[in-house]
């Protein structure tokens, strides 16, 4: 009996140990499972966090891309405002110094002098201007009576001298200026004819009669790549105002690139100068070379183009391959974002050129689209403005600039005009359009004097499109010749 009891007790103990072992194993398993589950949960949570971070980063990058895209499209307009305010403030300070200096010189000289003396009087002390010594030295050389210089080249050399270039027959001058590359004056006259200023008869007296002399301003306006910066500096260096030099503005209150239709309701300047106090001088450029420049630097004008196949007034086959929608379109469309709230669609580059300038110039209805009439008649403008060709600013500045100053009620400084330059020893001046005004007047004269370059980049079908679409009245009025296919 006792033995049986011992056996049963032993079995019970074994059973208890097995149960305990099983329970321990179960507990360990559950612990491991919980740890694994926790790790999986943490990994899943980490994955979710990573995904969310990637999504947020993508949204931020898209936002930045949109912001920079917007800035790249409208930066010209916004920056013009900032630069304009800075430029205007400097002009006011510059004008004060200029007036003080001129008064002192008037006292010293007795208030009299020739054109040459007046030229010296009107100098300010900016480092970009001619010093009296440098100017005198440049004009010591008697170009007019130098029989060794081709008469057809002398007007070109005079222009370079206005920009501070040494044109004397010295070794240094010949090294800096390769005269073989310079255009002939007869070529310029054949291509574009004599200089033109539209609006002199209708705008000058009207502007001066309606605005008091203390409130008058003059400022450049024009579409991109038409020489507005050059004009601004020419006016600033050559127009002298009785009351203040601030009459030379960097741009009109509504912005120099803004279409005329926005003249009365678009003001960039913080001072909010009344729009009617400013006489806009509108720059226009040969449409063939203008489109070439737009291909290189389009500013706020957005259009699909490959620089190796541009201008693309109508689609190239490659344009259609890249953008099949162009297969059903007659022209390559263009959008211009003048400012964040003002974006305009144009059918093509040519339509942009036509429509922008036809907001200033209007023609009598009976002349519309009549290519064969001998006289193109403009309507009297609804507000005062002048229009000048960019080519004339480069090659006929001596004729053009004084008339612009006087039309607005200012005085021309006298003597030879001052072209924009950082001059004189380094022979650096202006570069119209995309190069900026520090790239060299010499380069500009060579570039824009070579009229054979007008056809560069235009295959036959693009020339045909240009001939068809360019407004014939504008072309005739501005004496811009067509390039035949």
Q: Give me the pLDDT at residue 183, please.
A: 95
Tokens read off for 143: 């170009």
Q: Give me the pLDDT at residue 171, please.
A: 78
pTM, whole model, 2 decimals? 0.70
Tokens read off for 320: 């259609």
Q: Give me the pLDDT at residue 266, please.
A: 63
Cβ–Cβ under 8 Å, residues 279 and 408 = yes
Q: Give me the pLDDT at residue 97, please.
A: 44
Q: Give me the pLDDT at residue 25, please.
A: 59
Span 440-462, average pLDDT: 91
190: left (phi over 0), alpha (psi -120 to 50) or beta: alpha
Q: How do residues 247-268 score in pLDDT, each as one tens digit?
A: 899 999 999 999 999 998 766 5
The band of 429, judged by pLDDT with boundaries at 50, 70 and 90, is very low
- For residues 382, 388, 389, 390, the Cα torsion angle rounded to the nearest 10 degrees is -120
On the question of pLDDT at 58 being above 50, the answer is yes
Q: Which residues pair with 179 in a beta bridge?
A: none
3-state secondary structure of 370: coil
Tokens read off for 172: 């240094």
Give me the residue spans of the domains in the chain: 77-477
For residues 187 and 198, give the distance between their C-alpha atoms in angstroms, rounded to a whole number: 23
Between 80 and 330, whose confidence is greater? 330
Whether omega for the bond prior to residue 318 falls within 30 degrees of 0, making it cis, is no
Span 365-382, average pLDDT: 72
Q: Give me the pLDDT at residue 46, please.
A: 83
Span 87-112, average pLDDT: 38
Cβ-based neighbours of 149, under 8 Å, separated by 6 or more: 143, 157, 169
Mean pLDDT is lowest, of 108-117, 151-160, 176-185, for 108-117
The total number of residues written for the chain in this structure: 485
Cβ-based neighbours of 185, under 8 Å, separated by 6 or more: 152, 153, 154, 155, 156
Helices (H), 110-127: 115-121
Q: Give me the pLDDT at residue 238, please.
A: 95
Mean pLDDT is lowest, of 75-79, 206-210, 345-349, 365-369, for 75-79
Span 324-329, average pLDDT: 90
Q: Indicate the angle between helix axes 460-469 and 287-296, nearest 10 degrees.
A: 120
Tokens read off for 382: 């609804």
Rg over CA atoms, the chain = 36
Q: Give me the pLDDT at residue 170, please.
A: 86
Cβ–Cβ under 8 Å, residues 261 and 241 = no
Mean pLDDT is lowest, of 123-127, 243-247, 329-333, for 123-127
Mean pLDDT is lowest, of 45-59, 177-191, 231-245, 368-382, for 368-382
| Average pLDDT score over the chain | 78
Q: Give me the pLDDT at residue 305, please.
A: 87
Q: Give me the pLDDT at residue 450, please.
A: 92
Cβ-based neighbours of 182, under 8 Å, separated by 6 or more: 153, 156, 157, 445, 446, 449
Q: Give me the pLDDT at residue 120, please.
A: 31
Cβ–Cβ under 8 Å, residues 336 and 352 = yes
Q: Of 246, 292, 293, which is closest to residue 273 (Cα–Cα)? A: 246
What contacts 24+ positions apart, CB below 8 Å, involve 200-209? 200/386, 200/403, 200/407, 202/380, 202/381, 202/384, 203/279, 203/381, 203/384, 203/385, 203/386, 203/407, 204/384, 204/406, 204/407, 204/408, 206/384, 207/279, 207/384, 207/407, 207/408, 207/409, 208/408, 208/409
On the question of pLDDT at 448 being above 70, the answer is yes
- CA–CA–CA angle 432, 438, 440 (5° rounding): 65
On the question of pLDDT at 82 being above 70, the answer is no
On the question of pLDDT at 477 being above 90, the answer is yes
The band of 277, judged by pLDDT with boundaries at 50, 70 and 90, is very high
Q: Give me the pLDDT at residue 355, please.
A: 98
On the question of pLDDT at 101 being above 70, the answer is no
On the question of pLDDT at 434 being above 60, the answer is no
Q: Give me the pLDDT at residue 54, please.
A: 75
Q: Give me the pLDDT at residue 395, please.
A: 96
On the question of pLDDT at 121 being above 90, the answer is no
Tell me which range, 58-62, 106-110, 276-280, 325-329, is most confidently predicted by mean pLDDT.
Answer: 276-280
For residues 240 and 218, give the distance between their C-alpha atoms in angstroms, rounded to a whole number: 11
Which residue reads 């009620």 in tokens? 409
Span 380-392, average pLDDT: 96
On the question of pLDDT at 437 being above 70, the answer is no
- For residues 305, 307, 311, 316, the Cα torsion angle rounded to the nearest 10 degrees is -60
Between 272 and 438, whose confidence is greater? 272
SS (H, E, C) 175-226: HHCCHHHCCCHHHHHHHHCCCCEECHHHHHHHHHHHCCCCCCEEEEECCCCC
Mean pLDDT is lowest, of 299-308, 321-330, 370-379, for 370-379
Q: Give me the pLDDT at residue 105, please.
A: 35
Q: Of 446, 433, 410, which is closest to residue 213 (Cα–Cα)? A: 410
Q: What is the DSSP string of 400-453?
A: HHHHHHHHTT-EE--SS-----S-GGG------GGG-TTS-HHHHHHHHH-GGG
For residues 222 and 259, give the distance between their C-alpha atoms in angstroms, rounded to a whole number: 8
Q: How do residues 161-217 score in pLDDT, each as one tens digit?
A: 998 888 988 878 888 888 999 999 999 999 999 999 999 999 999 999 999 998 999
Q: Give me the pLDDT at residue 45, please.
A: 84
């Amino acid at each position: 009996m006792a033995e049986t009891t011992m056996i049963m007790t032993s079995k019970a103990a074994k059973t208890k140990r097995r149960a305990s072992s099983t329970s321990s194993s179960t507990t360990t398993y559950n612990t491991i499972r919980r740890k694994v589950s926790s790790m999986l949960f943490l990994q899943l949570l980490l994955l979710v966090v990573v995904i969310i971070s990637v999504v947020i980063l993508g949204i931020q990058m898209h936002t930045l891309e949109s912001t920079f895209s917007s800035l790249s499209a409208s930066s010209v307009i916004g920056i013009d405002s900032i630069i304009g305010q800075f430029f205007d403030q400097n002009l006011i300070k510059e004008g004060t110094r200029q007036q003080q200096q001129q008064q002192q010189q008037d006292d010293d000289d007795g208030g009299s002098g020739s054109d040459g003396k007046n030229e010296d009087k009107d100098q300010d002390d900016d480092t970009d201007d001619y010093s009296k010594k440098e100017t005198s030295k440049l004009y010591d050389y008697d170009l007019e009576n130098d029989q060794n210089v081709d008469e057809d080249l002398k007007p070109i050399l005079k222009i370079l001298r206005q920009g501070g270039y040494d044109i004397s027959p010295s070794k240094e001058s010949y090294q800096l200026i390769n005269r073989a590359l310079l255009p002939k004056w007869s070529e310029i006259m054949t291509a574009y004819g004599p200089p033109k200023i539209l609006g002199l008869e209708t705008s000058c007296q009207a502007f001066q009669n309606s605005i008091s002399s203390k409130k008058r301003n003059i400022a450049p306006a024009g579409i991109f790549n038409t020489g507005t910066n050059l004009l601004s500096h020419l006016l600033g260096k050559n127009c002298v105002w009785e009351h203040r030099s601030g009459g030379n503005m960097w741009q009109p209150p509504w912005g120099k690139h803004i279409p005329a239709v926005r003249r009365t309701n678009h003001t960039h300047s913080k001072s909010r100068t009344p729009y009617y106090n400013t006489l806009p001088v509108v720059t226009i450029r040969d449409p063939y070379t203008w489109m070439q420049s737009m291909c290189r630097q389009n500013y706020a004008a957005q259009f699909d183009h490959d620089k190796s196949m541009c201008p693309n007034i109508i689609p190239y086959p490659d344009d259609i391959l890249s953008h099949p929608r162009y297969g059903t379109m007659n022209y390559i469309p263009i959008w211009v974002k003048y400012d964040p709230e003002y974006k305009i669609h144009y059918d093509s580059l040519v339509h942009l050129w036509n429509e922008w300038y036809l907001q200033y110039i209007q023609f009598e209805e009976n002349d519309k689209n009549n290519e064969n009439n001998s006289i193109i008649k403009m309507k009297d403008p609804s507000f005062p403005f002048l229009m000048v060709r960019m080519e004339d600013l480069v090659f006929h500045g001596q004729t053009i600039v004084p008339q612009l100053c006087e039309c607005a009620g200012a005085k021309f400084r006298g003597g030879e005009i001052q072209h924009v330059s950082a001059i004189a020893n380094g022979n650096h001046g202006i570069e119209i359009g995309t190069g900026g005004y520090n790239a060299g007047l010499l380069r500009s004269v060579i570039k824009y004097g070579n009229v054979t370059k007008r056809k560069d980049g235009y295959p036959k079908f693009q020339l045909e499109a240009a001939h068809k679409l360019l407004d014939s009245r504008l072309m005739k009025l501005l004496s811009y010749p067509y390039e035949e296919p």
